[in-house]
Amino acid sequence: MSLPSLALAGSVLAGGLAAGTLAGPAHAASGDAAVHHRTVRVDGVDVFYREAGRQEAPAILLLHGFPTSSAMYRELIPLLAPHFRVLAPDYPGYGHSDALPPAQYAYTFDHLAQTMRGFLDRLGVKHAILYMQDFGGPVGFRLALAQPQRIDGIVVQNANAYLEGFAPQVKAQMQRYWTHRTPQTEQEQRFAFSPEGIRWQYVTGTHDASALDPDAWTLDAARMARPGQDAIQLDLLYDYRSNPASYPEWQAWLKQRQPKTLILWGKGDPLFTVEGARALKRDVPGARLVVYDAGHFLLQEHAADAAREIVAMFGSADGSEVHERD
């Protein structure tokens, strides 16, 4: 977390802001914002997670994207903690969770979702709001379809569920890989988890790249360089083909259930275009859509803004609106 962000978090959490801001309820102690780092065993895998907030508060599950980990939520967690029980796990193969070889853990989105269900079970979480970014979308939608009664609402942040949401060049490259998994098509995918590719995902389309903390992509790149990571990532990127095939199911669930939905989107995302966000809004007319002048990882520039939107949406009734933010 950068020094300006620390100052902002401190002023938000301890400064007693005016009504309508992120100031916590009167009973919220400063200790609510303390972030704890824990590990739980789920079906033979050690799952690392970050936790903050009161046990009795509504739970929000932060599902991270590729190629990062729960570390992407470092700034958001303390801002949400006065209002929610915040849980941010690392998937197997990511962050501080076990990274077993593919022979010991099948790296598919079905399996990741199964592990996340087990994670919620182990922590005794019966209901949760889902925050889904990038890979968090395929994991979260699988959770929602498997146990719809468990989901109290969704926050979708640059997580695709519509074919029109794919950037054309990304879709073409991925389809080559899904159609023919060869050393050549695997090589194309390796750029995505190379140091250059990871930085590209962070900085492309941002409003001000100098406002981003370079430790974010440096940390992700270091983790992706660990032995065995290439096999894990190539398996998951190949299994990503199961997600477009599931889009009609996810869309039907959205149309039928009309979950309480907040859509946060960086319009400069080079992977998932804002058309995917607008398609989701079309299927859930009551959703709130906020479009930012930001990229794929918009929390790097708008963590405080996102926290305000989440608290407003899930702390009170909220209208169906579309907003463009700078």
- The residues assigned a catalytic role are 296
Strand partners for 325: 292
Q: How far is CA 292 from the centre of its chain?
A: 16
Q: How far apart are CA 70 and CA 31, in angstroms?
A: 21
CB 130 within 8 A of CB 143: yes
Burial environment of residue 317 by CB neighbours within 10 A (0 to 12, 13 to 18, 19 or more): exposed
Q: What is the DSSP string of 15-29?
A: S-PPTTSSPPPTT--
* DSSP secondary structure letter of residue 82: T
Element (H, E) at 12: helix 3-14
**Placement of tokens 């700078």 in the chain:** 326
Q: What share of the chain is helix, strand, coil (3-state, %, to 5)?
A: 50, 15, 35
Q: How far apart are CA 172 and CA 212, in angstroms?
A: 29
